[in-house]
Amino acid sequence: MRKNADIALVSEMLETANVIRNFDFSRTAALAAEIRKAGRVFMTGEGSSRILPAHNFISTAMGLGVDLATATEGSYQAMDYDLAAYVVLAASNSGKTKETLTLVRKLNALQHGRVFGVTAAAGTPLDQETRDCIVLSCGWEKAVAATKSVVEQALVYQSILAHLVPCRWEQDKIKAAVLAESVMSADVPPAIVDKLAAAGTIFLSGRNNGVAEELALKTNEIVRKPSRYLEGTLALHGIEEIMTARDVVVFLDPPETEFAMMEKIFIQNIGATVVVLGPKATPFPTIFTPQLDGYSNVLALMAGWNLLAETGLKLGFDLDKPARARKVGNAL
């Protein structure tokens, strides 16, 4: 994809490796201490500012058995909750998201006192109205679809865990950056690109760690096609009733025990296309995603970006400027 680096979206995807390489884990030390003291954290925001960062944090913490209560919801739903006992992390790339600021202002009016922000823009309302706000180092993105900022937000959240449990994430960030570069420079098989370009609907199936759900959103913004995120093994529980032979199902590291059922439902019964993003060979067309503790989800996301960008280019779209989608989805 490097041959298209003059396109802002592609350039920002490629810059993500350096975001990983230069990430400063020390930025969240004080925040981690606050969360350790509270024993619970609630993450809010909208769209890409929440999907991967929050769900990657929760799935990682649960996998490590961290003694920490974790939860995430969109900001308006969070308005219904009693968050008094939680440290609240409010993320907004623009720092101006209406829903997020509405929640922040409600909590401030209640004298909550432990609302922290994450944004890409200094001096914005979120920066000014939270107790402390981490400003991303990746810079403002020109493309409408958020990419490098999503990864840095995820690293901000994950670095909190690095202060709470033993890990090698900081030591391995150079290795992760090299793998990120390899993922973004990998050639995507033209046959897979052709299938996505011709698809009616693109389904993204995977764990609730933010990767498949974030790629479903990016499918709308980059490939301009209908998409749907299928959590866990929901793909095997009735969705075939509304699928057609034009559809594509992209599985993120599916369980090997379900390969036969995937073949039966989607290929034999429907005639749809199955594609896998995963770390090992499968019976289906597969795009390799490298594994590295603490970074595997980010690397899988980037492999998905590569696939979607190649598909958008094949379709002849202006990847930087969707016809309707806005950079700031719902600004205050």
Nearest residue to 9 (alpha-carbon basis) of 319, 326, 223: 319
Spatial CA neighbour of 253 closest among 268, 232, 225: 232
Give the percent of the chain with pLDDT over 90. Answer: 93
CA angle 231, 233, 46 (to 5 degrees): 5
Given this model, what pLDDT does residue 320 score?
86
Q: What pLDDT does residue 189 have?
A: 97
> In this structure, are residues 214 and 52 in contact, taking their beta carbons and an 8 Å threshold?
yes
Alpha carbons 35 and 29: distance in angstroms, whole number: 10
For residue 157, which amino acid is it?
Y
Note the pTM of the prediction, 2 decimals: 0.96
Longest dimension (CA), the chain: 59
Query: Structure tokens of 255?
Result: 């369980």
Tens-digit pLDDT profile for residues 50-104: 999 999 999 999 999 999 999 999 999 999 999 999 999 999 999 999 999 999 9
**Collapsing DSSP states into helix, strand and coil, what is residue 42?**
strand
Residue of 4, 7, 12 whose CA lies nearest to 180: 12
> How far, in Å, CA of 147 to CA of 158, rounded?
17
331: pLDDT strictly greater than 90: no
Q: DSSP strand E in 73-201: where?
A: 87-91, 115-119, 132-135
Predicted confidence band at 328 (pLDDT cuts at 50, 70, 90)? Answer: low
Burial category of 206 from C-beta neighbours within 10 Å (exposed 0-12, middle 13-18, buried 19 and up): buried
Residues 6+ apart with CB under 8 A from 267: 273, 274
Instruction: Give pLDDT, residue 295.
Output: 98
**Residue of 213, 210, 272, 221 whose CA lies nearest to 243:** 272
What domains can you pick out in the chain, each with its CATH number?
2-177 (3.40.50.10490), 187-314 (3.40.50.10490)
3-state helix, strand, coil in the chain (%, to 5): 50, 15, 35
Across residues 310-325, what is the average pLDDT? 88
* Cα–Cα distance, 107 to 129 (Å, whole number): 10
List pLDDT tens digits, range 34-57: 999 999 999 999 999 999 999 999
Written as six digits, the tokens of 33 are 């201490």
Q: What is the pLDDT of residues 246-289, one digit of tens each?
A: 999 999 999 999 999 999 999 999 999 999 999 999 999 999 99
Residue 291, token pair as written in the block: 């594994």
Structure tokens at 314: 């094949």
| Residues 72, 59: Cα–Cα separation, whole Å | 12
DSSP labels, 184-208:
HHSPPPHHHHHHHHH-S-EEEEE-S
What the block records as the tokens of 88 is 């609240």
